[in-house]
Structure 1
Amino acid sequence: MANDNERHVVPNKERGGWDVVAPGASRASSHHERQADAITRGREIVGNAGGGELRIHGRDGRLRDSDTIAPGNDPNPPRDRK
């Protein structure tokens, strides 16, 4: 199922750190030093845009996890995975 509101957290090989990017975008939505910060920002972006999917990639660039984000301010958000 295609999702118009999707973001990926991927390693930035040139600058280091992690980017939050939309599929097919020429620029990152945001850049972070830590992957955890990029994941948090990615969840905010997708949630504010009406919900969708956040795909999380590992250092090797391969998909390692995905998260379905509910629209807006979810009154019962999932607990942080630590």
Structure 2
Amino acid sequence: MAAQQAFVIPVGTFWVVRANSENLGDLQRTQASAITVAREWLQNHGGGELVILGEDGKIRAKDTIYPGNDPRNIRG
């Protein structure tokens, strides 16, 4: 099975969480609340990669959510 990915994406003044080409839940008012939704979804679906986009639409951060396969052997 391919690794799961969840994206936190800006939409106007709101944030949306997307996985498998579908929106997960409602629009979020803050990026932090969208990140929480994405982390919980990944944890409940076997882990994977969380990709957070900034307001400019560029990748701001990535994080591997347990029990996803983190290619790095150090924390950070």
- TM-score under structure 1 length normalisation: 0.72
Sequence identity (%): 43
Give the length in aligned residue pairs: 65
What CA deviation, in whole Å up to 9, does each residue of 1:54-78 have, x standing for no partner? 000000110010010003xxxxxxx
Is the counterpart of residue 29 in structure 1 residue 55 in structure 2? no
Name structure 2 gaps, 5 residues minimum: 68-76
Partner residue of 2:17? 20
User: CA offsets per residue over residues 7-46 of structure 1, 9 Å max, x none?
Assistant: 0001013xx3100001533xx1122000000001100000
> After TM superposition, what 4+ stretches of structure 1 lie above 2 angstroms from structure 2?
none
1:53 partner SS: strand
Q: Give the alignment's Cα RMSD to 1 decimal.
A: 1.3
1:10 paired residue number: 9
Find the counterpart in structure 2 of residue 75 from structure 1: none
Extract unaligned runs of 5+ from structure 1: 72-82
